Chain A
Amino acid sequence: MTTTDIHEKGVALTSEGAQELQPRDIAGGTEVLREMGCVLRLSEAEVAALGDVDDDDATTTIMNMGPQHPSTHGVLRLMLELDGEEVLRTKPVVGYLHTGMEKTGEQLTYLQGPTNVTRMDYAAPLFNELVFSLATEKLLGIEVPERATWIRMLLCELNRLSSHLLFIATNGMDVGAVSMMIYGWREREETLRVLELITGLRMNHNFIRPGGVAADLPEGWQAAVRNLLDTVPARLDEYEVLLTDQPVYQERLQGVGVITTEECIALGLTGPILRSTGYAWDLRRDVPYLAYDEVDFDVVVGSYGDCFDRYSIRLAEARESMRIIAQILDRLPAGDYRVQDKKVTPPPRARIDESMEALIHHFKIFTEGFKVPAGEAYAAVESPRGELGCLLVSDGSAKPYRMRVRGPSFMNVQALPHMMHGGLIADGVAIISSADPIMGEVDR
């Protein structure tokens, strides 16, 4: 079925057959088990208790909250079974942004890897590059210099800030405060300007590479970051006035999409959703990587596990990130920004004109790529959405044999049906927005 013959037939074959939600009468008893949530199904006993509700008058309609929908944060398709406005069963159908990145990852060398991986979670691209680089460095067994580690931490916290600002903007818009999009994006542009000054690009930076960082920090980066740290906290307080004290906002988010710690752990959820249930688990503190054990920050934990908690956690985490950035500002060590191991780092540009070996070295690293010893390595970082892991299997050649990225949003999307059960469609929109899934990371 190539796209051309869709063109002739004129009829778009968009039904995905078995992947879709089957109506009760066709699918029979086992499908009703999905009632509680796509994954945490009802037990037979609960379904039996449910069974006596006579189904003939409550005709449930199955409706598509499809790939092209303003509030599904990208191309997520949810099939909802509705009784009037109330959501009974939900099934996420994903794959509408499947880009075959893991297959492409096997064709690119380790130096080209970050360009492919950075397009997975496009709200926080630097985290993908970081996790790929950490896994590669674990395979190589090399140590990245102090300055590179701290630069990576600075960039990741800036990216976390911009990702949480994107969340606040879209969360406000999804719940009806459309002007939040304008406010949220105003701050995000400030953060992206600082990232553009440092890395040269607003997104998909390819700045964190195996072996360190692509370039040193430019002149005047302290002034830009300090200016950011002066303006954004005041703006976050402005959001508090705009959103938190609003009865409408509270009414839409409090008590909606409640989830408990046991359910989160059973579903494999990490990040703000797990922390919103009151369970303090943050990789930056519990399995420290980079230099997070030398920086002092707080892990923010919620109390009820509903959408309002997740909103408050992300708002507070944005402030924590700025607190970390302030500490990095004064404690950034000097030194070189890339590992000086000849095998991994190409020689500096000036050396190439002088020595023949440097030119050969430069040529070999950029065309054929450096060889990584055979083995497997798994690295994980705390991305704004949860634990982002990267498994690299190397067969000794210059290209990874298998690259697997564990996206937190993939598990968060599977938990949506569980949180949306029993709520209204409007609550479902607020829940999708609170889970903040990024479809690039779900479909890879």
Chain B
Amino acid sequence: MGWDLDDGLAGLDHNVLTGRVEDLVRWARKSSLMPATFGLACCAIEMMGAGGAHYDLARFGMEVFRASPRQADLMIVAGRVSQKMAPVLRQVYDQMMEPKWVISMGVCASSGGMFNNYAIVQGVDQIVPVDVYAPGCPPGPETLIHAINTLHGKILTGEILRRRDETGAGAEIHIEQRDGQSEPVVLAGRD
């Protein structure tokens, strides 16, 4: 709680007394985002892996996956959405409490992925407004955590909600994939 005097009022650093209520509310929403378990297919296994001990979503205040949409404010659509599942997904999204966000995890949720056929909805953004698209099939826990951090950043700045009010569409942020091993693996058995 310092005050850099020669900078005048600008030097007053950020603290409780001088913080805006809006920042406090956004910070509270960001750090206790409760995801609704919407695990559909293979991405759900990776989402559970992200919730597990090794990748540990709890570091971001999200280790509790709420089952009922009444207590959840983030829907991670993890897996391919079939035509039979589309109305159910829309119903669960409508029943979620405001303010709510959607992460479309995996290429099948984002764009139908490799299943371009009669059974799969080609992209969940036809049904619900999507905020962050996480690429990968399945995206590793690192990519999911990267998507969640991106969303946290957008919630903290608050412009995600302003755009939602005007256009009703999601923030539609695309992120790149961040998993896999760093150093290349040398193949043995060359002889």
Binding site for B on A (CB under 8 A): 3-4, 6-7, 10, 12-14, 16, 66-70, 74-75, 95-101, 103-104, 115-116, 119, 122-123, 125, 166, 181-183, 185-186, 188-189, 192, 196-197, 200, 202-204, 215-221, 334, 337, 439-440, 443
Contacts and interface: CB of A to CB of B under 8 A. Distances in A.
A69 B40 CA distance: 11
A70 B37 contact: yes
20 contacts: A3-B90, A6-B87, A7-B126, A10-B94, A14-B87, A16-B84, A68-B38, A74-B41, A95-B82, A99-B82, A100-B115, A101-B115, A122-B41, A166-B45, A186-B54, A189-B52, A202-B140, A203-B46, A217-B189, A219-B185
Contacts of A185: 48-49, 52-54
A197 B188 contact: no
A218 B185 contact: yes
> Could you say which interface size class chain B belongs to?
35 or more
A12 B83 CA distance: 12
Contacts of B39: 74
Contacts, number: 151
Q: With a 10 A CB-CB cut-off, give which of B40, B41, B94, B120 has the most chain A CB atoms.
A: B41
A69 B94 CA distance: 16
Given A68-B92, A166-B45, A189 B54 contact: yes
Interface string B152-191: 0000000000000000000000000001110001111100
B81 to A, nearest CB: 9
B117 A100 contact: yes
A42 to B, nearest CB: 30
A3 B82 contact: no
Among A6, A69, A125, chain B packs the most CB atoms within 10 A around the CB of: A6
A402 to B, nearest CB: 16
A66 B88 contact: yes
B127 A7 contact: yes
B62 interface: no
A371 to B, nearest CB: 23
A96 B88 contact: yes
Given A74-B41, A185-B53, A221-B188, A12 B87 contact: yes
Contacts of A192: 49
Contact of B82 (A68, A97, A122, A218): A97
B39 to A, nearest CB: 7
A100 B85 contact: no
B3 to A, nearest CB: 45
A396 B108 CA distance: 31
Contact of B117 (A103, A182, A197): A103
A99 B80 contact: yes
B6 to A, nearest CB: 52
Nearest to A215: B187
Contacts of A3: 83, 86-87, 90, 121, 126-127
